[in-house]
Structure formats: C-alpha cells, structure tokens
A and B are shown apart, each in its own frame.
Chain A
Amino acid sequence: MSEKKPSLFLRIYAVFAYAYIYIPILLLMIFSFNTQKLNIRWEGFTFHWYEVLFQDQEVMLAVRNTLIIAIISTLVATVIGTLAALALQRYRFPGYTFSESLLYIPVIIPEVVMGISLLAFFALLGVRLGLSTITLSHIAFNVPFVTLVVRARLHGFDKAIEEAAMDLGANELTTFWRVTLPTILPGVMAGAMLAFTLSLDDYVITYFTAGPGSTTLPLRVFSMVRFAVTPEVNALSTLWVLTVFIILAIGQILQQKNRNINTKKERI
C-alpha cells in the first residue's frame, strides 16, 4: 500500500487508538509501585510488591510448572509439526486433504469445547489430571500452529539446493542437517516461539486439564485477580508484559536482520 502521508484525521485517530490500547497497560504497570495495599489511590513509590511476589511460594511453583509444560510441549510440537510441514509442502500422499483440514481445527473450534473434550477423554481413560495431562493437551493445540507457520516459511524454499547437495555426494541425512534444516531454521524458530508463547499464555485448556498441584501462571493470576486487586498482581503483570515485550523485540530484530541478509542475497 502507498506511503502517501495519512490525513490529519487519521493521524489523530491513531493517537487515540494507541492511547486506548496502552493506557490500561501503563496504569497497570504504574500501580505496581504503589505503597497502598488496596491500590485505590496513588500513595507513594515502592518496590515492596516485587519482593512479595518473589517470596510468594505459590507463584514460584506456578512459574516452574508453566515453564516445564511450555518447554516440553514446544519441543515435541516443533519436531513433529516441522515434519508435518515438510510432508504437506513437498509430498502428495493418501489422506493429504484430511491432514490439512485437521490443522485448522484449533482455529475454528472454540477453546472451551477442546478443553471439555480433553477433560472427558482423560476422565474416561482414568488418567489423573496434572502436569502430564496439561502438557499432552498443549502439544495437541500447538502442533497445528507450528505446522502452519513452518509451512508458510517453506513456501519459497528452493529444492534445487538439496538436489545439488545430493549430487555432490551427500546422503539424505547429511543433506537434511547441513542444507535443509539451516535454510528452514528461521521458520522452525518462529513456529517454536509461537508454540512457547501459546503454551505460556493458555488459560482455558489448562483450566480443564489441570489437577491439584499443577497450577500454572495463568491459573494463578486468575485466582489472584478474582480474590482481590492488590499491587502484587500488578507487579506480576508488569513483569509479564515486559517479558513479552523483550521476547517480541528480539524476534523483531532477528527478523529484520534476516530480511537484510535476504535483500543482500537478492542484489548479488
């Protein structure tokens, strides 16, 4: 689209729109430094609530659980999701359309339905709900997203490079490790990052598949919010927003670098 200067009206509108998006988040962050426990009015500045947060055993346990689930589910989903993306992008096989439409299920089925069906499924099997059931469920909703992302990045992949490698005597495995994987790695990383954040963030499916002792951070935040508005929740939220901000910024910078390399390649 054109880079003609947007009209004055549109520019003013954009300022208001961004204010609408960011003022609640900024207020949330500011009030994490409030000395007043009820957090109604601004009283004074303190880091006290961050100390409280880091000494909160339940929060720390939730952080640990969340990370365990996110790391395992990301690893599994990224590996099998990438393989599926390769399959869909390069091969035609029986069940192709079925596999393809399977990937859209998490997009078009409300999360609550997926949550209750997994709950019913685990109950039927007699599996005790806990970290393992949450992880299994997270893999299920992550795989399709990884596959879709990796597949989108595979789109421009030139098969000739692989053929060249094989002509030069590399076998399949070497070709995959030395040629294919490095080329598609940015896509795989993007898929993994998406899976990781989706897992960190998930409330609904975790809510239905969690058992005693397997509280994750979103579940913990929910019960804190429901219980009371205290600056500790604000402190936790502030750290969360900052983490998202930093991870996204790194991703953005990497992407930018990648783009620069690609344009240089094109020039050559």
Chain B
Amino acid sequence: MTIQSPKGRKINLAGLTRRLREDAKAQGLALISPTLLYLIIFMILPMILVVVISVLTRGTYGNIEYRLNFENYKRLIDPLYLRILTYSMWVAGLTTLITILIGYPLAYYIARAHSRQRSLLLFLILVPFWTNFIIRIYAWIMILRTEGLLNNLLINLGIINMPLDILYTPLAVQIGMVYEFLPFMVLPLFASLEKIENAQLEAAADLGARPWRAFLRVTFPLSVPGIVAGSILVFIPAMGMFVVPDLMGGAKTMLVGNLIRNQFLTARDWPFGSAASMLLMLLTLAVTLIYTRKAGFGEDLLV
C-alpha cells in the first residue's frame, strides 16, 4: 500500500511498518514521542519562557517590555524579600522535621503490624493523603478559630476564660502545614521500613545487640532512603505553598509562594515574579541534589 505524503512524495506504508518493526530504536522513539512532544510544549517551553521573562522589564501598566534587565534579581537581595525567603525555608524545614518526628514511629508501627492489619493501617493513611488539601485546612480552621471547637472546649473545661487567638498566626500556618504533609512523609518511610529483612534484625540480635542498639545501627540506617524521599516530598511543596498561609496565616505570614503569586496576579510584575520563581526553583533543586547525593536514593521517591 502506498500513500501520498503532504509534499507529494509517495511513501510505501508496508515498507515503513516493516522498517518500524525491525528497528527497535525507531519503535522506542515512536512510542515516546507523544509524551516527549507534549512535555516539551507544555512544560519545558513555559519554563524557558519564565527564564526569559525574569530578565525583562516591567512596563508602567504591568505589561512586559522587551528590555534586558537584571534588576529583578538584585531586588531579591533586598532585606524585605530575603526575609520572606529565609522564613519560607524555616517553615518548610520545620515542617519536614516535625513530620519526620511524628511520622517515623507511626511508619515503624505500620511496618511491624500483622500483615492483615497492615493494609488497613496503610489504607487509613491513604485516605487523608487523597482528600483534597483545602478540605483538610478547613477542618483545622473550624478547630482553631476564635469561636472554634478548641476554644469552646477549653472554655467549657474552665482552662481558659478568654478564647486563644491561634488562627491567623504563624503557629496556625505551622499546624496546617504539618497536618497537610504528614501522609507524604509516612508513605515513603513505611516503604523503606517494610523492605528491611527480618533476618538482618535477627542477625543483630544474635550478635548480642540490644533492641535500641539494633534500631540505631541496623533499622535506622536502612530507613535513610525513606527519610530522604519523604523529606523531598514534603520540603519542595512546602517551599512553594501559598494556600495554607492564605487561609490560615491572615496577612501576617508571607511565604515565597505568596510572593510569586502576588507578583503575577495582583502586583502584575511578571519579571520580578519570574525572578523569584527562578530562585525558588534553584533552591529546591539544590536542596534535592545535596540531600540525595548525601544519602543516595532511588525509586523510594515514588511510592
């Protein structure tokens, strides 16, 4: 069979399919090309565009002027913005640390549970993981607000007379972030703890290691890939988070995510917003690289 190509050249279809069948390289390329093209158009090109915008100039009316300008990056060193950046890193870092502290014993417990119980326990972690995160924030707004459930409870118990102001403070943001990201930590931790062979622990015990020592010398080191994967899955989205501060932080807490969003949608300074995005991207990339290099990780990133 032959068909006419757009340029008028005759193509032998049977020959083409035969060639495709024989040529593994061409087959691979044919299968990957839709994805490759799609991601280049809708992921790589947009990101390159942001790189370009970050060195252009903001016009008077929020438009973009095509004049080269590195001021956007210089502005990021301004103490005002530097403080937002360090504060975001502090919040994201603290969130990562707290989720490790809360999540590790929990993941350890699930990994040690009887296999039938284990799937139920894991299922109970997956439900909040898949529940929309705004809904989970809302649950905490109901609890923490001035006339909320926590204040009602404490007043009824006679512990406090006046309601505590927790919502719309940095503390509320921290509470929201930890609750939001805990499942992201527990799942990879569980995956790496589950893989540890019983034989390894028995060997440690046979060699006279007490349980605590066996944990510190065997279990913990073997679970490091899970800690790394969990930390990446928590730290990166936490760095870019703007929804939790929006809903729980009031006007008091501003993270890099909020800064970028505001530059694009309210201040309409796209070049500056792009520069801030570049910085955020470089930062998360650097943290990921350092973290993975040090600990060496593989497929644990995806559960």
Query: Which A residues fall within an 8 A CB radius of B?
Result: 1-4, 6, 10-11, 13-14, 17-18, 20-22, 24-25, 27-28, 31, 38-41, 80-81, 83-84, 86-88, 90-96, 99, 102, 104-114, 116-121, 124, 136-137, 139-140, 143-144, 147-149, 152, 172, 197, 200-201, 203-204, 208, 217-218, 221-222, 225-226, 229, 233-234, 237, 240-241, 244-245, 247-249, 252, 256
Interface magnitude class on chain B: 35 or more
A24 to B27, CA, bound (A): 51
A109 neighbours in B (Cβ, 8 Å): 47, 236, 281, 284
Q: Which residue of A lies closest to B156 (CB)?
A: A41
Q: Is B239 an interface residue (CB 8 A)?
A: yes
- Contact between B24 and A17 (Cβ–Cβ < 8 Å)? no
- Contact between B39 and A140 (Cβ–Cβ < 8 Å)? yes
A-B contact pairs, 20 of them (CB 8 A): A1-B111, A1-B197, A10-B112, A17-B105, A17-B106, A17-B109, A24-B143, A25-B136, A27-B142, A80-B35, A86-B31, A96-B28, A114-B43, A116-B264, A116-B274, A117-B46, A149-B302, A225-B138, A244-B131, A248-B130
- Contact between A144 and B138 (Cβ–Cβ < 8 Å)? no
- Contact between B240 and A113 (Cβ–Cβ < 8 Å)? yes
Which DSSP category, helix, strand, loop or mixed, fits chain A's interface?
helix
A94 neighbours in B (Cβ, 8 Å): 25, 29
Q: A117-B46, A148-B302 are in contact. Are A2 and B112 (CB under 8 A)?
A: yes
- Contact between B115 and A3 (Cβ–Cβ < 8 Å)? yes
- Contact between B112 and A3 (Cβ–Cβ < 8 Å)? yes
User: Chain A's nearest CB lies how many Å from the CB of B281?
Assistant: 5
Q: Mark B8-37, 1 if CB is under 8 A from A, else 0.
A: 000000000000010011111111101110
Q: A28-B138, A172-B21 are in contact. Are A143 and B38 (CB under 8 A)?
A: yes
Which DSSP category, helix, strand, loop or mixed, fits chain B's interface?
helix
User: Chain B's nearest CB lies how many Å from the CB of A145?
Assistant: 8
A263 to B35, CA, bound (A): 34
User: Chain B's nearest CB lies how many Å from the CB of A31?
Assistant: 7
- Contact between B239 and A120 (Cβ–Cβ < 8 Å)? no
Please tell me which one of the listed residues A111, A121, A221 contacts residue B237 in the complex, with CB atoms under 8 A apart: A111
B121 neighbours in A (Cβ, 8 Å): 14
Query: Which B residues fall within an 8 A CB radius of A?
Result: 21, 24-32, 34-36, 38-39, 42-47, 49-50, 53, 102, 105-106, 108-115, 119, 121, 123-128, 130-143, 145, 147-149, 152, 179, 182-183, 193-198, 201, 232-233, 236-237, 239-243, 246-247, 257, 260-261, 264, 270, 273-274, 277, 280-281, 284-285, 288, 299, 301-302
User: Chain B's nearest CB lies how many Å from the CB of A106?
Assistant: 8
Q: Which A-B residue pairs are the 3 nearest by beta carbons? A: A110-B240, A91-B28, A87-B31
A18 to B107, CA, bound (A): 11
A218 neighbours in B (Cβ, 8 Å): 132, 134
- Contact between A113 and B277 (Cβ–Cβ < 8 Å)? yes
A248 neighbours in B (Cβ, 8 Å): 123, 126-127, 130
Q: Which residue of B lies closest to A107 (CB)?
A: B301
- Contact between A87 and B28 (Cβ–Cβ < 8 Å)? yes
Which of A38, A99, A172 is most buried by chain B, counting CB atoms within 10 A of its CB?
A: A99
User: Chain A's nearest CB lies how many Å from the CB of B95?
Assistant: 14
A229 neighbours in B (Cβ, 8 Å): 138, 141-142, 145
Q: Which residue of B lies closest to A256 (CB)?
A: B119
Q: Which residue of B lies closest to A140 (CB)?
A: B42
- Contact between A112 and B130 (Cβ–Cβ < 8 Å)? no
A111 to B240, CA, bound (A): 7
Q: A108-B288, A225-B141 are in contact. Are A241 and B135 (CB under 8 A)?
A: yes
- Contact between B49 and A120 (Cβ–Cβ < 8 Å)? yes
B246 neighbours in A (Cβ, 8 Å): 226
Q: Which residue of A lies closest to B258 (CB)?
A: A112
A240 to B139, CA, bound (A): 13
Please tell me which one of the listed residues B109, B152, B257 contacts residue A41 in the complex, with CB atoms under 8 A apart: B152
- Contact between B49 and A24 (Cβ–Cβ < 8 Å)? no
B110 neighbours in A (Cβ, 8 Å): 14
- Contact between B198 and A91 (Cβ–Cβ < 8 Å)? no
A240 to B27, CA, bound (A): 42
B140 neighbours in A (Cβ, 8 Å): 24
Q: Which residue of A lies closest to B114 (CB)?
A: A3
- Contact between A240 and B29 (Cβ–Cβ < 8 Å)? no
- Contact between A93 and B25 (Cβ–Cβ < 8 Å)? yes
A152 neighbours in B (Cβ, 8 Å): 299, 302
User: Chain A's nearest CB lies how many Å from the CB of B44?
Assistant: 8
- Contact between A102 and B36 (Cβ–Cβ < 8 Å)? yes
A147 to B128, CA, bound (A): 24
A90 neighbours in B (Cβ, 8 Å): 28
User: Chain A's nearest CB lies how many Å from the CB of B189?
Assistant: 12
A107 to B138, CA, bound (A): 25
Q: A39-B142, A93-B25, A113-B281 are in contact. Are A13 and B124 (CB under 8 A)?
A: no
Please tell me which one of the listed residues A27, A137, A203, A237 contacts residue B42 in the complex, with CB atoms under 8 A apart: A137
Q: Which residue of B lies closest to A90 (CB)?
A: B28
- Contact between A84 and B34 (Cβ–Cβ < 8 Å)? yes
B274 neighbours in A (Cβ, 8 Å): 116, 120
User: Chain A's nearest CB lies how many Å from the CB of B87?
Assistant: 16
- Contact between B112 and A84 (Cβ–Cβ < 8 Å)? no
